[in-house]
Amino acid sequence: MTFFRKLLLLLAVLAGNLCYAQIVVTYPVPRIVVQRNNSNQALLYVTGRVSQPADRMEIRFIPRAGEGGTAIDWTLLQNQPTGGIFYGAVTVTGGRYDLEIRAIKNNAVSGAVTRVEKVGVGEVFLIAGHSNAAGGYSPTIDYAYGDQYKDRVNTIHVGDYYGTWDKYWNSGDPSFLPSFQPTQLCDTCGIAPGVSMRWFWGRTGELIVKNLNVPVLFYSSAFGGTNIEQLYKSAYDIPFDHGFVKYEYRFPYTHIRAAIKKYIPFTGLRAVLCGHGVNDRNNYGQDFKFQYEKVIDKSREETGYPDLAWMVATECYINGECWGQWAPGSSVERHITRAQDELVAQKPEVYKGAQLNLILNDGRNEDALHFNQTGQSKAAEYWRQAVMSENNPSKNFLTSSKPLMAKVQPPVIPAFNIASVQSGDWDNAATWDCKCIPSYASTVTVSAGHTVAIDGNVFARNIINRGKVEYKTKAVVQLSQ
């Protein structure tokens, strides 16, 4: 092929790239589960970028077969999107969907229809507790029903411990946690922010999906070897010594704080599922209750939601026993169980969790404490019973609790005139004077002496090149002018 013919071919490819229109949905993402309200609905926010001018954006929701939900045909998401950014919200019924979004110009579809698969409206939980909530003392049990329900059980996988997750453990900085990219809770998956394995929570989620026919997503702040006293002290900056828990980074409470800051705004939250007690056996019952209440209060303060629900497991047995004093000088009684029962009875928005004291030694390892596989199976079932209020029918959890709903902020509309301030990648906000990523409405200037690299889909109204634009293998430039 001659040089001239190669040049013509390259120009043809670039011309196609420049003319092609595209919609990119930035939220929701595949496999998200957004917390539903008690009417089995959620206001689902949708935002993203559109490369072509549009009079309006339309959206529809297609229920996935056998996964609940109610179809929504093409409906208005937003009129007159500005600056290449669209944003709107639709009320969606509990279930799982594939959503499609399109741009309309002059009453005709403009460009391609974009699809986001496995978008869920269901139940979201944050796990808390010690090693029996975190796992690792027996092989993790499998899902009970094969492939029938497990695809609807989701999490944020923590990934390789020796990567950035290790940096999180050695700093408490949530920026080192995985980004918000949900995945199915797989055989080798951990549960962000704090747990490296699935444990019995996969089975728990599966049972809840089977009962409710909505998807489930778990976060976990469980931390083996800890108790309520340490959780309380780390939440309120009260120093303590521990062989491996790093108070200086405010563990173990840092896991709860990280989930609140990094993930829960995207999904909302039904409740915290907490299994503490066995490591608090030497604490006074009244102190255990006080510390538990203060942890609950702190979580409500940091979410800005005073009605955040907690489920408190009945949990403290070793060898079927758990005795101690309620207060100094008092007689011996089942002090931890009393505290847990009083929390459920007296603290607003606290519900009866799993009755884990029913797991006797046949469900535990030789230490009579940690769950074996039989114990895991029972724990999964007892947590299902708690969520379904089968263990406390007088106080129905799913109809009485007041879930925290997702809060997705409207996007910032990028500046219309943007210039590079340094060499760098197009998709790096630090490259541009606006500290943003250009949109289809932006006139973009690559300043003299700067090299801007493009590797993927990028958007602009037009490009004024006074420096150098470097096109990588996957470069697709989409201009609206």
Q: Does residue 233 carry a pLDDT above 70?
A: yes
Q: Does residue 14 carry a pLDDT above 60?
A: no
At 182-214, the pLDDT tens digits run 999 999 999 999 999 999 999 999 999 999 999
Q: pLDDT at position 18, please?
A: 40
Over residues 55-78, mean pLDDT: 97
Q: Does residue 92 carry a pLDDT above 60?
A: yes
Query: Could you say which DSSP state residue 150 is in?
Result: G
N-term to C-term CA, the chain: 32
Q: pLDDT at position 455, please?
A: 86
Angle at which helices 228-235 and 285-303 pack, to 10 degrees?
40
Distance, in Å, from the CA atom of 122 to the CA atom of 94, rounded to the nearest integer, reads 6
Length, in residues, of the chain: 481
Token pair in block for residue 310: 């907690």
Report the range of poorest mean pLDDT among 46-50, 196-200, 390-394, 407-411: 407-411
Residue with tokens 């196609």: 16
Q: Which amino acid is at 347?
A: K
Note whether 163 and 220 are within 8 A (CB): no
Q: pLDDT at position 1, please?
A: 52
Over residues 329-352, mean pLDDT: 97
3-state secondary structure 342-382: HHHHHCCCEEEEEEHHHCCHHHECCCCCCECHHHHHHHHHH
Token pair in block for residue 412: 């910032």
Q: pLDDT at position 3, please?
A: 42
Residue (of 352, 369, 290, 274) closest to 326 by Cα position:
290
* Torsion sign over Cα 372, 378, 382, 384: positive
Q: What is the mean pLDDT of the chain?
A: 91
Note whether 272 and 128 are within 8 A (CB): yes
Over residues 321-339, mean pLDDT: 95
pTM for the whole thing? 0.84
SS3 content of the chain, % helix, strand, coil (to 5): 30, 30, 40
Note whether 215 and 209 are within 8 A (CB): yes
Token pair in block for residue 23: 């919609």
At 51-64, the pLDDT tens digits run 888 999 999 999 99
Q: pLDDT at position 22, please?
A: 83
Higher pLDDT, 19 or 127: 127
Looking from the CA of 47 toward its CB, the CA atoms found within 13 Å total: 14
Residue 328 backbone phi and psi in degrees, to 5: -55, 130
Q: Does residue 19 carry a pLDDT above 80?
A: no
At 365-379, the pLDDT tens digits run 999 999 999 999 999
Note whether 448 and 306 are within 8 A (CB): no
Q: Does residue 126 carry a pLDDT above 70?
A: yes
Domains and CATH numbers, the chain: 20-119 (2.60.40.10), 120-400 (3.40.50.1110), 417-479 (no CATH)
Q: Does residue 91 carry a pLDDT above 70?
A: yes
Distance, in Å, from the CA atom of 125 to the CA atom of 62, rounded to the nearest integer, reads 25
Q: pLDDT at position 4, please?
A: 45
The secondary element (H helix, E strand) that includes residue 443 is strand 443-446
Q: Does residue 9 carry a pLDDT above 50?
A: no
Residue (of 120, 146, 117) closest to 25 by Cα position:
117
> Judging by beta carbons within 10 Å of its beta carbon (0-12, 13-18, 19+), is residue 139 exposed, middle or buried?
exposed
Distance, in Å, from the CA atom of 413 to the CA atom of 411, rounded to the nearest integer, reads 6
Q: Does residue 50 carry a pLDDT above 60?
A: yes
Distance, in Å, from the CA atom of 138 to the CA atom of 249, rounded to the nearest integer, reads 29
Residue with tokens 């990219």: 181
Q: What is the largest CA-CA distance in the chain?
A: 97
Query: Could you say which DSSP state residue 430 is in?
Result: G
Higher pLDDT, 434 or 69: 69
> Judging by beta carbons within 10 Å of its beta carbon (0-12, 13-18, 19+), is residue 438 exposed, middle or buried?
buried
